[in-house]
Amino acid sequence: MAKFNPGEFMRQVQSEARKVVWPSRQETTTTAIFVGIMMTILALFFLGVDTVFGKIVQWLLSLA
């Protein structure tokens, strides 16, 4: 089993951290707006699907 070297570990962490590419403010804003729009569209879609299935179940239960 290899020995754990904290100094080598920290050097590797710093080396990997230098490779991270952070998004610009414009990219972050655009992505956040896109996520908000998609979330709204999907929420409305699933509200519609749930309403339709709810009406179908109510209708089926009224037949019994």
For residues 56 and 54, what is the distance between their CA atoms, to the nearest angstrom?
5
pLDDT tens readout for residues 3-56: 888 899 999 999 999 999 999 999 999 999 999 999 999 999 999 999 999 999
Is the pLDDT score of 2 beyond 80? Answer: no
Give the pLDDT of residue 54: 98
Give the pLDDT of residue 64: 79
Q: What is the pTM of this model?
A: 0.65
Give the pLDDT of residue 57: 97
Give the pLDDT of residue 3: 80
